[in-house]
Amino acid sequence: SQQGEEDPQALSIQEGENATMNCSYKTSINNLQWYRQNSGRGLVHLILIRSNEREKHSGRLRVTLDTSKKSSSLLITASRAADTASYFCATDVEGAQKLVFGQGTRLTINP
Amino acid sequence: DGGITQSPKYLFRKEGQNVTLSCEQNLNHDAMYWYRQDPGQGLRLIYYSQIVNDFQKGDIAEGYSVSREKKESFPLTVTSAQKNPTAFYLCASSRMGQGGEKLFFGSGTQLSVL
C-alpha cells in the first residue's frame, strides 16, 4: 500500500472557509512535502517540512508534522475558488532516495 | 523561461506499438523522474535518473524503458509489453537525486490506447 495516505479523499467547502487535509505514513521519514495538482496538469510544490520541525507556514498555508503519530496536516485558510485542486503529500523515506506520494485529497471550493 | 517540457500533450498507441514520451528540462537539474498517474490515484514511480548515463527502476518499471544520454533529456518509451498503458505520465526533475529535494513537474502526457 502507499506510504502516504491522505484523508479525506474528497472535501467540498464554501469560499472563505478553512480547509484541512491530513496525511498518514507508515515508516520513518527525513521530510514530508505537499504538492498541488490542478486538473490535467503537473504537480506544483507547496511546502516542505523536515522531520525535526513541527509546524511551518507559507502564506495561507500551514503544515504540521507529528512524527510520533506519523501524520501531517495541511491547512489552507480563507479558501478561494482558485484553491480548487488535488493535494498530495509525499514522504522522503529514510534510506530511500525517492519521494513516495499518497493518493491525494480532491478539494473543491464553492463560490 | 526555465522549466520542464513534456511532449506530446496527448498520445495514442495502437496494439503492439512502442511509443516514446519526451521530457526536456533547462533547470540544470541532475535528477529526473517519470511517474504514472491513474485516474483519481497518486503517483507511482516508473524510472529515475540521478546522473547522466545512469538510471534506476522505480516501483512499476515493467513494460517501460528510458535513456539518459544528455542532462537535459529523459525520454520514456512505453513498450508493447506494457499491457495497460492508458494513464497520465508526469516527468519531474530535482536539483540533486535525493529524496529531500523538491520536484519540478512538467505538464504531463495523456496516453491512450486505440
Is B41 within 8 Å of chain A by CB? yes
DSSP assigned state of B69? S
pLDDT for residue B19: 96
* N- to C-terminal Cα separation, chain A: 36
A95 pLDDT above the threshold of 90: no
Cell numbers for A62, please give them. 500551514
Tell me the pLDDT band of A24, cut-offs 50, 70 and 90.
Answer: very high
A1 pLDDT above the threshold of 60: no
Residues from chain B that touch A99, judged by Cβ atoms under 8 A, are: 99, 103
A16 pLDDT above the threshold of 80: yes
Is B107 within 8 Å of chain A by CB? yes
Q: Residue B42: which of A44, A88, A98 has the nearest Cβ?
A: A88
A34 pLDDT above the threshold of 70: yes
**Rounded distance, CA A84 to CA A13, Å?**
10
Q: Give the model confidence (pLDDT) of A61-90 as tens digits.
A: 999 999 999 999 999 999 999 999 999 999
Q: Which of A6-10, A80-84, A96-100, B1-5 has the lowest mean pLDDT?
A: A96-100
Cell numbers for B86, please give them. 492508458
Of B49, B51, B50, B83, the C-alpha closest to B64 is B83
B74 CA to chain A: closest CA distance, Å?
17
Is B48 within 8 Å of chain A by CB? yes
Selected residues 19-78 of chain A with any CB under 8 Å from a CB in chain B: 30-31, 33, 35, 40-45, 48, 50
Residues from chain A that touch B90, judged by Cβ atoms under 8 A, are: 42-43
Q: Give the model confidence (pLDDT) of B1-10 as tens digits.
A: 569 999 999 9
Closest residue of A to B48, CA-based? A98
Buried b (16+ CB within 10 A) or exposed e, A50-76: eeeeeeeeeeebbbbbeeeebbbbbeb
pLDDT for residue A2: 47
Is B43 within 8 Å of chain A by CB? yes
Cell numbers for B56, please give them. 534506476
**B97 burial type by CB count under 10 A (0-12 exposed, 13-18 middle, 19+ buried):** buried
DSSP assigned state of A83? G
pLDDT for residue B41: 84
Contacts A–B by Cβ distance under 8 A: 65
Mean pLDDT, contiguous 10-residue spans, chain B (114 residues): 89 92 97 93 92 94 97 97 94 84 95 90
